[in-house]
């Protein structure tokens, strides 16, 4: 079994968000005001670059995933993933109430 680390979870989060490393680098530049490249994202994912709590929180917000995803792994957050991105109606509480009642 592969060891889970927050750094490795960034790559998994990119896959869930449909992001390339360049996409994440651009989003990090916008969010932090610092220069980011896809090489820097690669180093984060490999654990070769320092990962701070602030940076991890920023990435979680960009990828729209709970911080637990990065800290405990995808399996720990499967039931808490939030709205279904493929189903925009899942964002509507009234629609959720109807689907639960059905």
CATH of the domain at 36: 1.10.260.40
pLDDT at 90: 41
pLDDT at 76: 65
Dihedral of CA 35/38/40/45: which sign? positive
In a domain, 78, yes or no: yes
In a domain, 1, yes or no: no
In a domain, 28, yes or no: yes
pLDDT at 77: 60
Residue 57's domain spans which residues? 6-101
In a domain, 87, yes or no: yes
How many C-beta neighbours within 10 Å does residue 84 have?
11
pTM of the model: 0.70
Q: Count how many domains the chain has.
A: 1
Among 29, 30, 74, 6, which residue's Cα sits nearest to residue 38?
29
Query: Tens of pLDDT along the chain (102 residues)?
Result: 567 888 889 999 999 889 999 999 999 999 999 999 999 999 999 999 999 999 999 999 999 999 999 988 877 665 544 444 444 444 444 443 443 443
């Amino acid at each position: 079994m592969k060891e889970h680390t927050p750094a490795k979870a960034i790559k998994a989060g990119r896959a869930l968000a449909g992001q390339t490393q360049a996409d994440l680098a651009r989003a990090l530049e916008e969010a932090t005001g610092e220069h980011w490249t896809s090489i820097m994202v690669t180093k984060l994912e490999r654990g070769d670059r320092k990962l701070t709590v602030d940076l991890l929180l920023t990435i979680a917000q960009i990828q729209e995933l709970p911080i637990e995803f990065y800290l405990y792994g995808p399996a720990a957050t499967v039931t808490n993933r939030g709205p279904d991105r493929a189903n925009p109606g899942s964002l509507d509480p009234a629609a959720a109430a109807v689907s639960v009642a059905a």
